[in-house]
Amino acid sequence: MSQLNIETWLHASDEEREDIHSTWDVNNGEGKEVAEEVANLLEKECVYDIHNVGITESNGQWQIQAYAGDDYESLKDRGIIFLGFKLNIIKATT
């Protein structure tokens, strides 16, 4: 998996991403670079009011964490998967 890069990840199917993600040893940082690049893509491309996008580990998998402003209520319960990573939406405080 160490040869996996963002281009390969972007061209993989959802099923392939899920299979790859499930094999990563996140405790040793495996897949972290891909997760960070996907988080950066989300921050650049998202049309919703989100900011402070980053990654976090939960239950042995990388997840994307983002703070939402005005769009929090419409995003919080959607269960969004963005390019193979679960998206955790947190309400931004002002």
| Residue at 1 is within a domain | no
- Is 50 within a domain? yes
Residues in the chain, how many? 94
Domain count, the chain: 1
CA 41 → CA 48, 65, 83, distances in Å? Answer: 13, 13, 10
SS3 of residue 55 by DSSP: strand
Dist CA 84 CA 51 (whole Å): 19
In a domain, 30, yes or no: yes
Q: Which domain holds residue 42?
A: 6-91
Is residue 68 assigned to a domain? Answer: yes
For residues 74 and 47, is the Cβ–Cβ distance under 8 A? no
Assigned domain for 77 exists: yes
Look at residue 82 and tell me if it is in a domain.
Answer: yes
19 falls within a domain: yes
Cβ proximity of 85 and 38 under 8 Å: yes
Q: What is the pTM of this model?
A: 0.89
Residue-wise pLDDT for 8-48, tens only, equals 999 999 999 999 999 999 999 999 999 999 999 999 999 99
